[in-house]
Chain A
Amino acid sequence: MASQQQAPPIKGAKVLMVGAGGIGCELLKTLALSGFQDIHIIDMDTIEVSNLNRQFLFRQSHVGQSKAKVARDAVLRFRPDISITPYHANVKDPDFNVDFFKQFNVVLNGLDNLDARRHVNRLCLAADVPLVESGTTGFLGQVTVHVKGKTECYECQPKPAPKTYPVCTITSTPSKFVHCIVWAKDLLFAKLFGDKNQGNDLNVRSSDAASSSEHANDVFEPNKDEDIEQYGRRIYDHVFGYNIEIALSNEETWRNRNRPRPIYIRDVLPGESVQQNGNAERMPLPDDPLSVSAMASLCLKNPQDIWSLTENSRIFLEALKLFFSRRKKLAVEFVTAAANIRAASFVIPLHSLFEAKGIAGNIVHAVATTNAIISGLIVIEAIKVLQNDANSYRMTYCLEHPSRKMLLMPVEPFEPNKSCYVCSETPLSLEINTHRSKLRDIVEKIVKAKLGMCLPLVMHGSALLYEVGDDLDDDMVANYAANLDKVLSELPSPVTGGTILTVEDLQQELSCNINIKHREEFDEEKEPEGMLLSGWTQAPAVENKSTNVANGASTSSSCQAVPLETEEDDELVILPAGSSPAGMKRKISDVSTTAISDLSTAADEKRSKKRVDELDDDDEAVVMLEDVNADIGKGLQ
């Protein structure tokens, strides 16, 4: 019997896998069993304990090692004769350029973030290599096929944006626990342990802004004569006591709201320092720096427990103190405690560390079974791609609850979106105040943040306004740096209403035009960036995915540097809908009843429904499909 594993398109194929995590481990195994013999795999991550429940190629003893390399070794144990080339690197590294991508017959993504997915999408388009894209969360998953010119590219559909919160909700009037988490993580933690020079809205806005910011400048700098214990208590009183008092002084704010309660350390832990108090119950610090924990040293064990205000306060001080050695668990403990103290102040229910972690981090709800299913579906699509069997490509959704009896639902892929700025040449348009905004705003907030370019180049006609690269001479670098801080209309080649800018990324080989429209005023709450990009649609915002604050100041990037990423994961959350802030209580059932529309994004709901109907309700169509696909079965054999 002819072996289905040795089918020529499989045996001779050279495939690139991006990601060696939850999907990646399953995928590498399934590829190897299916007869693939030349597999390259990129992953920049190292192995963590929380990976081990599903990333079955890894063991406890591998914690800290490269995922790509350990995965290779594990698979070679049962398939020693195939070639697996691991890269412990970021897929966005310049080494992985278009020429690198061109050597592969197909690229398979098992990634955990939008950014990398967009980057790979662009390289695949530029190199004209088919891409099979995937994602899972909980029991839900999807696999899609992107072939240039034949199906839509990964960016043809708007992607859900991370949920952002109005600045003043975070700084002054939190009403949900997630607001406290965002405050603790993106403002307080960032202020204490991130770049202190970054602008930061940590201090409550008050009518007397000048004096409060002066106070703030002093307070976060440790005094020479105080120890870390005293420093912690001082910070505590400042952020939970003094700042609340300042906020309370603004009567207007509280007319229709519950007034928060200032909390001072002397009221919570009267007359004690943690040092004295903790001595009796203190555990010795473990030798392993990764397991240093304020919880452990205060004898709190269960991460599902909700700590009292006193316990939160002890954790706060202890974590702050221990954090100077930059240990992992402490960030989560510190943020949980700080968020809880703030929640207590605003009469918001307190949460456990386990729950807080789910809200604060992009923690993936992940199980092995879904990843296994998705890996099988990826390989099935990859084989169709290698056979160039375009008519049978399918997007497949893995559902938790059956829809029309189906748990695995195939849908015909969509055609390329003609107005996609990535795979078509449609220009974007940008409304901006050209007399006030600087080139830096366009480069940082639009070209990098929204368009996902890594090494951007900005041109006005033939005049280069900005570029990056190693081969630039010093004059050029200085020139571009100066341009960044210039107002658009005052650039050497002035940018005004009607200007067409060309932005390019040399690594991604992506180029697009932006039509500039001048606009005087922007709504501070609704359009905090002071500009409006159109022609590039973003799906409705999502809570709980990434809780970055939309910071109105020109330093918004400080909030993007999220220091809490102690637990990165490999499966991207693809399903935005229905996620509630309480990670643990997130009702997956709510999501998946409407999974089809969620998955294919609201904008295309109608289209998607129609396609599914066609596939399901029309028996003849089904029969036809079977005929068309008859040769897959043979190919598989």
Chain B
Amino acid sequence: MNLGMDGGEELTEQETALYDRQIRVWGVDAQRRLSKSHILVSGLKGTVVEFCKNIVLAGVGSLTLNDDREVTEEVLAANFLIPADENAFDGRSIAELCCDSLKDFNPMVRVSVQKGLLFLFAIQFHVFEPIVTDLFCLDLILDDRDANCANIETLPDFIKILTGDLSSFGADFFDKFNVVVISSCSLATKRLVDESCRKLSKRVAFYTVDCRDSCGEIFVDLQNYTYSKKKLDETVECQLKYPSFEEAIAIPWRSLPKRVSKLYFAMRVVERFEEVERRKPGETSISDLSNVLKLRKELCLAHSLNESQIPDALLERLIAVTREFPPVCAVVGGILGQEVIKALSGKGDPLKNFFFYDAVDGKGVIEDISNS
């Protein structure tokens, strides 16, 4: 049940030597499954770079990188995959530069670059659906183009899709992967990509990850997930049913357990703020505070939640410092790597379905935001 892969085939001698220490942690079967898995990441921010390093070292089958942006000083600040030599950039995208370093980390993993805008791959599934014909939503998606792609030339492709010409993309783009991880995307793109993964006959695990200031959030959608777990000396089958991103965030706040992390609400407020203000992900500053507080009031009113559950100071941190803090990237990228390894190997309790970390209180908390 591990994302449609089975074991079989022995590890090579080279693999056994290289992966010795981790095989002692998760076993040979898990290692075999890892080496047959295919992963897509989009949005190579610091946390995702950490994640990529972790899973390439772990020995996945292939990793596909999607991020057409060019290198900026801010990108370099949290990215250890790009050498400091400016001449080496040569107009290449972040994904292309990271690809070279990652290949070097582990020659047994196929690392490649997928150019283009992530939502374009996703949108084909929805082209005749209300979600796309809703012009407001379309606008939002168009606004998203700069987030992960500076290359405006792909726009004609987008128009082609709108006119129904799907030929430029394979209809089964996400079908090639076992895991899709996206970062710094708009609310609309998160929903769209998650829905695309859910439409496939094969189960594709979907993750979003974002870090702001010294806080981080991971969302996980494993759909209907079955895994084995050792209890005492028996192995038991466990089943989990995950809500989609859309379903999860639609759950009324009032009906959530009392002590849900304040970060959950705060992240929803900021996410919503960026949506209504048509901001690119992370494009906020302290001057937005009064509007963000206004939005918090509206949302809390609608959800009958006491505003004190979303402290001013927390919102202030999230909108004022959108630049990543490398130690937090290491922590959250590590947790994400661990979770993807668990999901791929079908061993151990996977995280359901949100994870929050805040360096200020030091807690790394799992929240189950679902109706079940």
Contact = CB atoms under 8 A, between A and B. Distances in A.
B18 to A, nearest CB: 5
Given A30-B326, A30-B327, A373-B334, A53 B19 contact: yes
A45 B82 CA distance: 27
Interface of B: 10, 13, 16-28, 46, 50, 53-54, 57-59, 76-84, 104-107, 213-214, 229-230, 259, 285, 311, 313, 317, 320-321, 323, 325-331, 333-335, 337-338, 341, 348-349, 351, 355, 357, 359-367
Contact of B330 (A26, A367, A396, A632): A26
A407 to B, nearest CB: 5
Contact of B104 (A59, A139, A630): A59
A222 interface: no
A365 B82 contact: no
A372 B24 contact: no
Question: What 4 A-B pairs are tightest by C-beta distance, nearest first?
Answer: A408-B364, A410-B362, A376-B330, A373-B334
Contacts of B362: 377, 380, 394, 396, 408, 410
Interface stretch (A238-246, A416-424, A582-590, A596-604): A582-590
Given A78-B80, A139-B25, A408-B363, A50 B17 contact: yes
B24, B77, B363 — which one has the most chain A CB atoms within 10 A of its CB? B24
A301 B17 CA distance: 12
B37 to A, nearest CB: 15
B21 A569 contact: yes
Interface stretch (A170-178, A185-193, A397-405): A397-405
Interface stretch (A116-124, A466-474, A528-536, A621-629): A621-629
Interface of A: 1, 3-5, 26, 29-30, 32-34, 49-50, 52-54, 56, 59-60, 75, 77-81, 138-139, 301-304, 354, 358, 363-373, 375-377, 379-380, 383, 394, 396, 398, 400-402, 405-410, 569, 583-584, 586-589, 619, 622, 625-626, 629-630, 632-633, 636-637
Contacts of A79: 84
A33 B24 CA distance: 31
Given A77-B84, A405-B366, A406-B363, A376 B25 contact: no
Contacts of B57: 53-54, 56, 368
A405 B18 contact: no
Given A78-B84, A380-B362, A405 B327 contact: no
Contacts of B338: 139, 367, 369-370
A406 B365 contact: yes
24 contacts: A4-B321, A29-B80, A32-B80, A33-B329, A49-B17, A78-B76, A80-B84, A139-B25, A139-B338, A304-B16, A367-B21, A368-B53, A372-B53, A372-B334, A373-B335, A377-B331, A379-B330, A380-B327, A410-B361, A410-B362, A584-B24, A626-B313, A630-B313, A633-B360
A575 to B, nearest CB: 12
A367 B84 contact: no
Nearest to A138: B25
Given A79-B84, A139-B338, A406 B364 contact: yes
Given A405-B365, A406-B365, A369 B335 contact: yes
Contacts of B326: 5, 30, 33-34, 376, 379
Nearest to A394: B362
A383 B326 CA distance: 12
B325 A636 contact: yes
A79 B53 CA distance: 18
A372 B17 contact: no
A365 B84 CA distance: 34
Nearest to A637: B321
A301 B27 CA distance: 18
A476 to B, nearest CB: 47
A366 B230 contact: no
Given A398-B364, A409-B364, 6 more contacts: A80-B84, A81-B84, A376-B328, A407-B364, A589-B348, A626-B311
A376 B327 contact: yes
A576 to B, nearest CB: 17
A379 B58 contact: no
A402 B366 contact: yes
A567 to B, nearest CB: 8
A399 to B, nearest CB: 9
Nearest to B331: A376
A304 to B, nearest CB: 6
A50 B366 contact: no
A393 B66 CA distance: 39
Nearest to A35: B326
A630 B337 contact: no
A301 B15 CA distance: 13
Contacts of A383: 327
A618 to B, nearest CB: 12
A583 B333 contact: no
A270 B335 CA distance: 56
A1, A56, A301, A410 — which one has the most chain B CB atoms within 10 A of its CB? A56
Contacts of A77: 83-84
A566 B230 CA distance: 32
B333 A34 contact: no
Contact of A301 (B13, B58, B229): B13
Contacts of A60: 107
B10, B76, B285, B335 — which one has the most chain A CB atoms within 10 A of its CB? B335
Given A56-B105, A626-B360, A407 B21 contact: no
A559 to B, nearest CB: 25
B330 A625 contact: no
